Amino acid sequence: MIPGLTGRRVLIVEDESLVAMLLETILEDMGCIPVGPASTVEEGLTMAEDEAPLDAALLDVNVAGQQIFPVAAILRARGVPFVFSTGYGEGGLPDEWRGQPTLQKPFSEAAIRDALMKALGVSAV
């Protein structure tokens, strides 16, 4: 359990099932409540548009060949912080999305924790 993350509802959009399962496990270990995972941009859009409360999201930039940015735009409009994950790092993002917390794949549990805490504005204890 990580203070500041416990009980947070975190949407996962990731098309690689093993990575999605790993993210679920990591989030649960930190005390978060995983939402999803969504394995397509369409599923991600549905979950992002849902009225259910979300505290944060972990978004794979390339989901089954589609860009995740429509989901990110909905989350941004809702005021839900999110973290991108990509094999290209922040440099692979379009200019308008740079500056968002971004995980470089492959990532570690510590990198996920740090990126989520940064996105949520939670300081480490």
- CATH classification of the domain holding 52: 3.40.50.2300
> Is residue 1 domain-resident?
no
Domain count along the chain: 1
- Is residue 70 situated within a structural domain? yes
Assess if residue 48 is contained within a domain. Answer: yes
Task: Determine the structural domain holding residue 109 and report its residue range.
Answer: 9-120
Q: Grade residue 67 by pLDDT with cuts at 50, 70 and 90.
A: very high
- Inside any domain, residue 65: yes
4 inside domain: no
Give residues with Cβ within 8 angstroms of 34, minimum separation 6.
10, 12, 23, 24, 27, 28
Query: Strand pairing partners for 94?
Result: none
Taking Cα atoms as reference points, which of 44, 35, 51 lies closest to residue 13? 44
Range of weakest confidence among 25-39, 57-71, 78-92: 78-92
Residue 27, in any domain of the structure: yes
Residue 111 lies in a domain: yes
The 10s digit of each residue's pLDDT in 114-125 is 999 999 998 765
In a domain, 94, yes or no: yes
Cα 73 from Cα 79, distance rounded (Å) = 10
Report DSSP state, residue 98: T
pLDDT score at 52: 87
Which residues make Cβ contacts (< 8 Å) with residue 79, sequence separation at least 6?
none
Mean pLDDT of 34-58: 95
